[in-house]
Amino acid sequence: MTDNSVLIRLQNIHRTYKVGSDTVHALRGIHLQVRQNEYVAIMGHSGSGKSTLMNVIGCLDRADQGTYEIRGIKTTVMSGAALARIRNEQIGFVFQSYELLPRLNALKNVELPLIYSNVGFLTRRKLAREALERVGLAARMHHRPNQLSGGEKQRVAVARALVAKPSILLADEPTGNLDTQTSAGIMDLFEKLYEQGQTIILVTHEADIACHARRIVRMQDGQILSDVPARQDPAWALIHGPSAEAKETGV
């Protein structure tokens, strides 16, 4: 029987990079399943394979072994064009460095994914405005990236990620370039999106950021080390104190 709430399923995913005569085994047999409206944080040291995994999940890259399904559709056997279509329809990406086009204002940056999927001008404008309103940036629509603060730039990037109403929001170290207070604002925004039903997968190496998620997956050397509800991960005790879980659940 198929379970319709399963959004993505990775089975035995491997990814190796060849650099000269060296081979880097970045992912070594990843098994992961994420359901609709989950909020997952992926943690791990630098080099543990987090970004490689996000790129595979986001269909920016392919595994060289294993199977990856989105909503039951096998991506591993798809052509490049079909994979690009899945990516446009299903995935919204947010990066640490925002990746906005400097010459375009916020509105046009947010419209870009819709241009790639051939949405007409008026609909594009309307959806881009709505996405900017959702992230609280309606007043900055006509500003170019260099006229925005770091937090505002990341909000534009979140609006761009959401504009095509993707199944999954993928964020790779979204607060990595932001100060603590601005990071908190972005995490509040993610919480709101999650409450509205958005599935979120977030990469971070910071415990306080990870604790916003409901589930924490830890990676090490290209493998999953642990995968537990956030309250059972050591990050939770670190941020909320050792007895926080007991107190909150009344145990």
- 239 is written with which tokens? 């941020």
Residue 155 binds ligand ADP (CB under 6 A): no
Please, what's the b/e burial string for 208-230 (b: 16 or more CB within 10 A of its CB; e: otherwise)?
bbbbbbebbbbbeebbbeebeeb
Nearer CB in complex with ligand ADP: 187/203: 203
Residue 47's binding partner out of ligand ADP, Mg ion, none, with CB under 5 to 8 Å set by partner kind: ligand ADP
Establish if 96 lies at the interface with ligand ADP (CB under 6 A).
Answer: no
Q: Dihedral of CA 155/158/162/168: which sign?
A: negative
Binds ligand ADP by CB under 6 A, chosen from 7, 8, 26, 110? 26
Q: CB under 5 A: which stretch of 10-18, 46-54, 150-158, 220-228 binds Mg ion?
A: 46-54
Please report whether residue 49 would count as binding ligand ADP according to CB under 6 A: yes
Closest CB 52 distance from ligand ADP, rounded Å = 3
Residue 236, C-beta contacts closer than 8 angstroms, at least 6 positions apart: 211, 216, 230, 244, 245
Q: How far is the CB of 47 from Mg ion (least distance, A)?
A: 8
Euclidean distance between CA atoms 72 and 82, whole angstroms: 15
- At position 66, the amino acid (one-letter code) is G
Burial of 195 (0-12, 13-18, 19+ CB in 10 A): exposed
- For ligand ADP, the closer of residues 48 and 175 by Cβ is 48
Furthest-apart CA pair in the chain: how many Å? 56
Toward Mg ion, which CB reaches closer, 51 or 183?
51
Q: Which stretch binds ligand ADP (CB under 6 A): 40-48, 75-83, 87-95, 118-126?
A: 40-48
52 is an interface residue for Mg ion by CB under 5 A: no
According to DSSP, residue 139 is labeled G
> What is the closest distance, in whole angstroms, from the C-beta atom of residue 14 to ligand ADP in the complex?
12
Instruction: Say whether residue 44 binds ligand ADP (CB under 6 A).
Output: yes
Choose the binding region for ligand ADP from 18-26, 32-40, 66-74, 112-120 (rule: CB under 6 A).
18-26
Give the interface segment with ligand ADP, choosing from 49-57, 68-76, 122-130, 151-159 (CB under 6 A): 49-57
Q: How far from chain centre, in Å, is Cα 72?
A: 20
CA distance 147 to 131: 19
In 3D space, the residue among 176, 160, 153 whose CA is nearest the CA of residue 50 turns out to be 176
Task: Tell me the closest approach of the beta carbon of residue 204 to Mg ion, in angstroms.
Answer: 10
By the criterion CB under 5 A, which residues form the site for Mg ion?
Answer: 50-51
By the criterion CB under 6 A, which residues form the site for ligand ADP?
Answer: 17, 19, 24, 26, 44, 46-52
